[in-house]
Structure formats: structure tokens, C-alpha cells
Structure 1
Amino acid sequence: MSKNLDKSLPALEVLYRYYDQISILETKIPSHEVQIPFKWKDAFDKGSIFGGKVSLTVASLGYEKACVLFNIAAMQSQIASLHRISDTDEELKSSARLFQLSSGIFGHLKSAASVMGGQEPTPDLNPETLSALSTLMLAQAQEVFVTKAIQDKMKDAIVAKLCAQAEELYADSMRQLQKDTVKHLWDKEWLPTVAGKQAAFLALGHFFQAQVNATNKKIGEQIARLSHSIETFKIAQQRSGNPNFFSDYANKASRLLAEAKKDNDFIYHERIPESGSLAAIEKVQSARLAKPLPVGERLSTNFKDLFDELVPVAVHQAMASCDVRKTEMTNSRIGQLREATQLLNSILASLNLPHALEDSQSSSSEVPQSLIEKSQTIVDAGGSAGLNQLINEMPELVQRNKEILDESERLLREEEESDDQLRGQLKEKWTRTPSSKLNGTFKTNAARYREIINNALTADEVVRGKFNSHQQAIEVLGGGQAALLQFLPRDGSSMKAQGSQAARDALKQLMIQVETLRGEREVLEARIKNMNFDLKSPFLSALAQDGAIDEPNLSTELLGHAFSPLERQVKDSLEKQESLVVAIQQNSDEYFGRRDLTKDNASQRDQVMRQLAEGFDAFTDLQNNVREGTKFYNDLTQLLLAFQNKISDFCFARKTEKEELLKDVTRSASNVPAQQPVPPARPPPPSFNASAPNPYTSAPAPLPNQQPPQPTGYNPYAAYAPVPPPQGYPYPVQQMGYAPHYYPPQPQQPQQPPHQ
């Protein structure tokens, strides 16, 4: 046990947390991929004297867990021993529980041979050693229950039975401690103390059973049991080598014996039976309160996983694949809703609703209320100038991504050219692997990133073209009610009422339902975007249960369960729109008559109102496009920065190897003695325009060995699905003579404390 930990419950909690942490790590780190050697010494440090192992080193987290558990059990027994001498109920209860926990752990460790890697365990982890320790802890727990029963002044018959069970447990413990294979391990006072306690609890049982006899007026049996108790107390003192061992009870038994003999001589005159003929004290299972407590899944009551985000590679890959599927489903469902909303807007615009409905009941000198509301929405959003500014910022984001990708490709190109040049000069002396065979993955991903950027530029042109087409209408709406009044013609609407008041009321109600439907879709779209569920636990469970993950089927099941309620809502929304459109067209024809606003016979006012309605719809779509496009480029920036870092690491490692190989070639030619290599300086990152805004400072780029987030496509960018993150570092650094300082250090052999 580490001497840095005192014998206290807070110190024990430290061990609990460490054990819980490595237990979780064991489920996350593949044993065949990470080999960390753990060295532990024999707890009793007597193995070498009798031919056993003094220490053992095993590259297994399971072995580390077993050794830490041994230490936990040892610490529990030490704290329990301190609490046992207390008179308080709480500490006695704590003592009994800790002894039982310790017994459970030692029993659990008897199966620890499976984590030894086929090696012989140190003597402390031998199954017979652990069995003896488990029984000894149990006997001490039962002793605490006896102490508690006496302190609580329980009935003598109950205390006698508890003592009988304690005697039985100490007898079993003594038999196991005396086995030839383990008896040399114990300190010299262990066996005498255990043997003394076995005799002492036998004597104590007879002592309390004698009190039962006295109550029942069985004076002869009382005298016989007290006599036998006194003799057995003496045996206990002889075995333990301590003349004061249980002396209080021995003295009390002597006093009671004298009183009982006196009463028998003068009053009862009962025959005193021989001690050998006395009935054994009844042993019932209920009197054995001490039982090994099982090792729980978690020992700490206040545990927080330090590596909560760490998962096995297989789980990480499965989660990434499932996340891609989730993104595709999310974009698909949102796309359905947006396409349906655009169709609804175009139908309403073709019918000039709801503006014509308002205009039919007002004078041509007024602006329909629905247009006023649309105008206020655009004003609040910054108007045409605000949207135009956001669109103009997009090229700067694209340029930054292009610069990062250009720098990455330059590093790869220059490294490969340098390698080819030296290979051409030195011929067969240049023996290292050609760069062209190592950088293929980087080149492939660079080409795919280049394609993404080019496609996104095309999407930007679509956005810009849509804005230009509707710029006039957006500017008018952004000018407020005064601009609308000036822009709208006053020639009167051609869509005057021809139908009944009932048709008009129905249309008004339908327009309210349209607005309700739009609001519901906004909420539904937000729920779809923000829909999250636990992926890690199902994949971890599948890996633990089957040893592999059937990602496609499991992902389909998880996504189906998560999206099922939302898909029903999407379907209901689309069906609701179909019925709304039919009702709107029927009531519009009845109220206005059949009119086509695209024909020349439509009034100029009707056509302008339709133009403004389309401009508002375009403004709403463009806002979403620009917002999502900005996120798209910022996410792509993180991917490209991670990609560039990997390439920079690759090039630096290749440069280091090149310098070493050049020195070897030079020494071979001139027979110059080898000198200590000096690693070259790491190349600096590419420089950017300091005056340009940095849109991704709020989201720092991931480290090279982290999984960067996938950028989310958007409409019209949604068609260009992002490529997966670049593959792992392809160059075997461990084959090089020198590893750069910024690579993760190789695991060192830990200096673990011995078990005790």
C-alpha cells in the first residue's frame, strides 16, 4: 500500500476513484492496441525466501485493476480495525461493513489468474492466499457484530449464538492460514492471534450460554459451562501469548462461577455434568451476520470519468458513420419541409394571397396589412443592405479556406519534389520509401476538398443570382410602409370580390391556418436540427456483447427510433398543406373568379404585390442560405486546419528522416564518426491577412489526432456533401531514428507502489 495514503475513508475514496477510472478505461482501450506494463511487488515480500516471485510486470489494465483491488481490500481492513476499537454505533457499523467488503474483494480476486498473461502470480495473489484472507476478514466482521450485540445488551442466547459463529469462522480461518503453501507468508503474530481468538470466542459462547442457564435455573449446566469457559479462556491466553487476552471476561466468569457454586451447595444441590457432555451451542444461519459483500460496478460515490469522451476506435468509427447518416436524414427531412413551404408560397403568390384579399376590401391608396408585416420583418432583419453585406462576406471565408488548402498542397508538393531530387542524385543510396507512396491519401483528400470549395463557389453564385433577381422587391420592403405606398400602383386591383361573404371568411380563416402551419414548421425544423440521442452507450454495449459492431443495422435502428415521431409530424404537415392548398384554390376561385396573374389582363397593382410577396420569400430563403453557408465554411475551415496540421507533421517527420539519411550517406562516403543529430525547426504555419476578419475564432480547430466536426451542407450547398476527415497519419514514425518533440510521448513503464 502506498505510504502516501493515510488510513482514512477519504484516502480510501481516492483508491475507489482510481479503480473506477481504470475499469472504464479497460472498456475503451483495446488490449491488443495499447500495451502499458504495470509492475507490482508481493504484498508480503517473502516470496523470494520460499522460491516465489518478489514482483510481477504484466501489460494489462486487468492486472492493474486486480492489484489496486488488493490494495483497496487491505486499506479497508486497516480502517475497519481502527473503527473496531470505537464505542460508537456508526464506527462499529462502518467496521463491520468494511471487513465484509474486504472479504468480498479477496474472494473476487481468486479468479485474477486470468489477467496475469499466463504468468505465475506473486504469492499474495495466489488463490489459497486470497481464500485465507477472505475468511479472516469475515471472521473479524463477525467479531464486530458480537461486540455490537454485547454493547447493545442483546439477549444472552443471541450473543451466545453470535459467538459460536465467530468461533467457527476463526476456526476455518486458522485452518486456511496454516496450509503449507501459505503459512510462511504471515507475520509471526497472525497465527497465534487467530488461534487465540478461536478459543476465546468458544469460551465467550459458553460464558453467555451459562447466563441463559442461570435464567432457566439450570445451575449445574451453568457451573459446567462457566468452568469450561474459564479453562478455554486460559487456552486462548496461552495460544495468543498474551496473559491479558480477554482477561475481563475470564475474571467475570471466575466470579460468577464462585457465586453459582455457592448457591448450588446451599440451595440447588444439582449434579454438575462433565464439560464433554455439554450440548454444543446452537448455530443457526441467522446468527452468522458476516457475509462477503460483492464488488460493485462502481466503488466511488463521487466519481467523474476523466476520459468521458474517449471511446474505443471501433465505437468512434461507428459513431462517426452514424452521425453522417443522421446528418443525411436531418437534411432530407428539413429539405422536404422547405420545398413544401416554397411550393405553398409560390401557390399563394400566384393567387396574390393574402394581399388581394385585403386589397379587395380597401382603397388603392392603402397598403395591405400583410405587406406591412412583411416589410417590418425585413426592416428588423437589417433590410437589403444587411443581407447584401452577409453575402459579400462569403468570398472572404472561401478565400481563407483556399489559402489553407493551397498551403497544404504546397507542403506536400515541395516535400515530394525534394525526395525525388535526392533520389535522382543519390540513386540506390537513397533507400527510404518514396513520398509518392506515402502521401496518396493526403493528395486524394486535398482533391476532394478542392472539389468541395469549387462546388460551394457555384452555390454562392446561385445565392448571389437569387438576391439580384429580387433585390428591388427586397429594397422596397426594407423601406417600410412609406416606400410600399409609393411603389404600389394605384390603378386598382383586378381581383375584386365576385363571390359571397362566406367565401371571403373562409379564405381569411385559411390564411390564418397557413401562418400557423409555417410557425409549426419552424418549430419542427428546429427540433429536427437539434435532435440528439445517445450513440455511445448502444455502440459500447454492442462491442462489449458481440466483440464487434454491426454499424449499418444498429444505426438504422437507432435513427429510426429517434426520427420516427418527427417523421410522422413531417408527414402530417405535408398532408395538412395538401388539404389547405385545395381549399384555398376552391375558395379563391369562388371569391375572385378564375384569374391568372401571369397574363396581361392582370392589373399592374396585382403583379407588383405578387413581386413583393416573392421578394419576401426570397429574402427569407436567402437569410437561411447565408446563415447555413457561413457555418458550412467555418466548419470546413476546421477540417482544413486539421488536415494542414497532419500534413505539416508528415512533412516535418520526413524532413527529419531526410537529414538523418543524408548524414549517414555522407559518413559512409567520408568515414566521418557519427554525431548527435539535431532536429530541424518545425515549419511555421501559413500566414494570413491580419486585417481580414476571423470567423472561426469562437471554435478553435481540433488537434491533429482529434476527429473534427463534419460541416453541415445547406441549400443550395446541401448537394455537396463534405468528405470524411482525412485518414490517420500514414507514416510509421516509430521506424524513424528521431521522433519530433510534439508527437505524443511513448508510454513509460510506471513506477507503481507495491500492494502494501
Structure 2
Amino acid sequence: MLISVLKENMAHWFHRNTLKNTVPVKFDELKRVSCGGDSNKIVGELKVTRARYVTLVSNHTSQADEVREAGLNYLSLLRGLITPPAEAAASSESKLRTLTTFKWTNSMGGKTPSIHADALFEVISVLVNLALWFTKHAARVSANDSITMDEAKEVHSSLKLAAGIFYCAKEEQAHLPAQIEKATDLDVRVIEAYLLQCQAEAQEITLARALELGHKPQIVLALAMDTHKMFENAAHSLETLEKLLVGKWRSYLSLKALFYQSYGYCFWGQQLLTEDKCGDAIAVLQMSKSLYDKSGKLCREYASAQGPGQAARPDRHPFYQKLGPMIIRFLEKANHENGFIYHHKIPEAALPPEYQDTFGLAKPEDFSLPDMSELWTPQAYSNFKSAVPSADKGATPSASKGASPTEEITPVAEPDIAPQFPQVPKTQSGCIIS
């Protein structure tokens, strides 16, 4: 049987921060030091490819392959602003790296941009926004009224690709020479949280499939506990950042961590029942119910929390609503069998889950920066005179600067992709079989 995950199983569980936005870059500083010929062509291509990338990534209706291709094309040109062509390398750093000033808003919201005169800042910003677009694409596909198996696979692959892009951004962030602003998209804690969130959400799809295909409790237990750990680690990555900026986001990650921990204990209890360990099963299922009740409180707190990001209502989600009755059903069965058959003593503490890790099922897709554009020949590079760093107010070479209080960039206009609730499906996981 093939699975199509119910739309609320995806969309209403997704917290999404805002896309980044930027201002047009004319690369006038590069043009001023260009001696013509091939170098002028590079300047023109940088301007055109950047504009195309920004246009596509700012549009929720863009095709995924076009967005990815536009990002890769622009990144291949940016490579020459960071590292010179091998044959022309007098040093490992391009003489053009700090010539152009770039400005980007941050995904935690707000109109005030970060400003850097560093092409590596541009690379990381492009990567982060590309990954964010694919997370939103996943949510958008899953919000369809009827989702096919191919669409479910697309959601899964989009989340894994986004995780791979965030990993690439994390690797590049380590090469920034300047002290960065905290709680921005350059902060490694923010990038790590995004990376783990993408992996965890992809793992949710794997878990939903395992439920519908009727896999053994041990498999569901392992998937649920690994998903719990991923969300928990993502939340921990944000715990030292300002609550006003990341509080709502972190609340989402925490409640999902708690929910999947409850799910894991539920199927751990079911597994113990199959092993005739009825007393232990009752204690474990009681723990599952306690965790579920706590997650319900977090659901309500999240729904009322202020902060960046589109809202979600997980407590109204069929996948969430079905877990509570499932726990109660298993617990009533365990109590009934213990009273009539086993007469086991119920331990005060629940037995910790025993399972084998399933890491790798939602492994990030391999993603790396593209090769340097073929336009960057040694001759083209030499046609640029030695550069003078950007004199743009608010940015200095290889340094991180905040924008002036009056400088603002209008956020990207984004549609509300939250779907309406359909009839609750009559399946164990809250999923639809196709």
C-alpha cells in the first residue's frame, strides 16, 4: 500500500519563519575596477543572475528546479569573488571579496537588514534563503486538498534538500572572519536549529508511513524517539538566544519533541504488552499520557505566543488528536489484562525505552557549492584592477555591521499556506491511504 500523508499531518505541524529579503545590487564597485572584456561580462552576469535568483526565491509559485538552478548559477559566479581562479591565485582570497556591500533581512523577522561588505556573507545568505524556500515549498505541497504519493515524496525530498543546504551554509559560516550579530541567520545556533528541524520533519513523514504500513512497535518506537531527539536538539540550539526573537519558534520545536516522546512511550508500552510485561507496560503508558498532556499545554502556549513565523494549530491536527485516544485505549487494555491475567505490580517509574537508533533515515541530501563559473578565467580575473574595499556607509571590509535605525527593507509578501481542516480520516496515524 502507498501512503499519502494527510495535509494537516504536514502543514499544521510546520512552523515557518519569514523568507529573507534584500535590495538590488548593481555591482558598480566591480564595474569601476573592470578593465573591460571578460571582466565586464562577469559583472553583467552577476547582476542578471542575482536578480533572477531573488525574483524566483521570493515567489511561492516558482518551480523547484528553476529556483535551485538559479541559486546554483549565482553561487558559481560568487565563487570568483571569494577565491581567485587557481591559475591566477597569488593568495587564497580574491582581491574582489570585500568590494561589494550586500544587505539582507533575517528570517526571524523585522525590516532592519544585516550589512556586510563580504561576498561570503552573500553566499551564506543565498544558501539560507534557498533552504528556507524549500521548507516552505514542502509545506505548500503538503497543504493540497489531496496529496499523492509522488507529492509526499516531494515533501520528504524537499526537507532533506533543505537540511543539506543548511549544512552547507553552516560549513561556510565557519569561514567568516568577522564577529557576527547574534540571533541572525549568520548565527550558527540558528542555522543548526534549521538543519535539525528539517531532518526531524522529514522523519515525521517516515514515521507516518511506518504507521500506515503497520510496522512493528519496535520500529515505530525507534522512529518516534529519534524524531523526539532531533526536535529536542533543535530547541536546545536556540535556548541561549533572545526569547522575543525565537520564543515562538522554540516553543514549536519543544512541543513537537514532547509529542514524539509521548508517541515513543506509547509504542514502547505496546511492545511491552506483546512481551507479557503488563506492569511495566502500564507504567510506560501512564508516562506516555503524562507527556501527551504536557504537550497539549505547549500547543496552547504556542498558538498564543507572539513572535515571527506563521501560526500553526497542532492541537487541532488529526494526527495529534488521534494519539490521546490511542494511549487511553492501550492503557485500558493493559489495565484490563493485568486485572484478569497477569496481576503484575505496577512500578512507580516507567522503564526507559529500549530501541535501536534509526539515524540516517532522514539524512540531509548531499549539497555543496557549485564549481566556479567558467567565466572566471585567469585573464578575466586579471582584468579587474586591485580593488578598494567598499565605502558603503554601514559596512566595512570583512566586517559585520548593523544597519542604521532608519534603514529598512520591506519583507517578502508571503501567502498563508495553512489549509482548511477536512474530515478526520479513519486511519490509525491520521493519514490517508491512496
TM-score (norm 2): 0.61
In the TM superposition, residue 153 of structure 1 has moved relative to its aligned partner by 1.8
Classify 1:121/1:191 alpha carbon distance in 2 versus 1 (closer, same or farther; 3 Å).
closer
Correspondence for 1:203 among 262, 268, 271: 262
Using the aligned pairs only, state the percent identity.
22
Query: For the residues of structure 2 that align with 1:182 and 1:107, how far apart are their CA atoms?
Result: 23
Which digits, 9 at most, give the CA deviation of each residue in 1:386-442, with x for residues without a partner? xxxxxxxxxxxxxxxxxxxxxxxxxxxxxxxxxxxxxxxxxxxxxxxxxxxxxxxxx
Contact 1:224 1:272 in 2 (8 A): yes
1-structure distance, mates of 2:139, 2:163: 14
- Contact 1:40 1:57 (C-alpha < 8 Å) held by counterparts: yes
CA drift of 1:224 comes to: 2.2
Cα pair distance change 1:279/1:24, threshold 3 Å: same
Q: Structure 2: how far apart are the matches of 1:253 and 1:223?
A: 10
Offset of residue 243 of structure 1: 5.1
1:605 is matched with which residue? none
Q: Does 1:256 align with 2:316?
A: no
The aligned amino acid for 1:192 is S
Matched, 1:136 2:201: no
Could you report, residue by residue, the CA deviation over 1:31-67 in whole angstroms, capped at 9, with x for unpaired residues?
4358443221222235x9xxxxx32334444332221
For 2:337, the aligned partner's letter is D
Aligned pair partner of 1:175 in 236, 242, 248: 236
How has the CA–CA distance of structure 1 residues 315 and 222 changed in structure 2, closer, same or farther, with 3 Å as cutoff? same
Task: In structure 2, list runs of 5 or more residues that go unmatched.
Answer: 1-18, 22-54, 85-93, 301-313, 384-407, 415-434
Aligned to 1:312: 377
CA RMSD of the aligned region, Å? Answer: 3.6
Corresponding residue number in structure 1 for 2:136 = 78
Within 5 A, what are the aligned runs for 1:577-588?
A: none
Aligned to 1:230: 289
What per-residue deviation string (whole Å, max 9, x for no partner) do you get for residues 317-371 of structure 1? 8xxxxxxxxxxxxxxxxxxxxxxxxxxxxxxxxxxxxxxxxxxxxxxxxxxxxxx
Distance 1:40 1:754, change over 3 A: farther
* Mapped contact 2:218–2:355 kept (Cα < 8 A): no
Give the equivalent residue in structure 1 for 2:101.
Answer: 37
Greater relative contact order, per chain length (Cα 8 Å cut-off, separation 6+):
2
What amino acid maps onto 1:99 in structure 2? Answer: L
SS at match of 1:57: strand
Q: Which amino acid aligns with 1:262?
A: H
Residues 109-124 of structure 1 aligned to structure 2 (within 5 Å)? 109-113=169-173, 118=178, 120-121=180-181, 123-124=184-185
Aligned position for 1:107: 167
SS of aligned partner of 1:124: coil
Q: Which has a greater percent of helix?
A: 1
Between structure 1 and structure 2, the one with the greater Rg is 1
Residue 216 of structure 2, aligned match among 138, 150, 155 = 155
What CA distance in whole angstroms lies between the structure 1 residues aligned with 2:174 and 2:289? 49
Alpha-carbon separation, structure 2, partners of 1:316 and 1:171 = 47
Secondary structure in structure 1 of the residue aligned to 2:266: helix
Contact persistence 2:217–2:271 (CA under 8 A): yes
Give the structure-1-normalised TM-score.
Answer: 0.37
Deviation at 1:70, TM superposition (A): 0.8
Residue ranges of structure 1 left out of the alignment (5+ in a row): 49-53, 300-304, 318-727, 729-750
Given candidates 258, 261, 273, the residue that maps to 1:214 is 273
Q: Classify the secondary structure of the residue corresponding to 1:270.
A: coil
1:165-564 alignment runs, 5 A limit:
165-179=226-240, 181-186=241-246, 188-241=247-300, 244=316, 246-274=320-348, 276=349, 278-287=350-359, 289-298=361-370, 310-314=375-379
Deviation at residue 101 of structure 1 after TM alignment? 2.4
**Structure 1, residues 509-543: CA drift from partner, whole Å, max 9, x if none?**
xxxxxxxxxxxxxxxxxxxxxxxxxxxxxxxxxxx
Once the two structures are superposed, what CA deviation does each residue of 1:135-175 show, in whole Å capped at 9, x if it has no partner?
A: 22222222222122112221111011111111111221221
CA distance in 1, matches of 2:340, 2:178: 74
Equivalent residue for 2:151? 91
Residue pair 1:37, 1:57 contacting (<8 A) in 2 also: yes
Shift in alpha-carbon separation, 1:148–1:32, aligned structure 2, 3 A: same
CA distance in 1, matches of 2:409, 2:378: 28
Aligned length: 308
CA distance in 2, matches of 1:109, 1:27: 14
| SS of match in other structure, 2:185 | helix
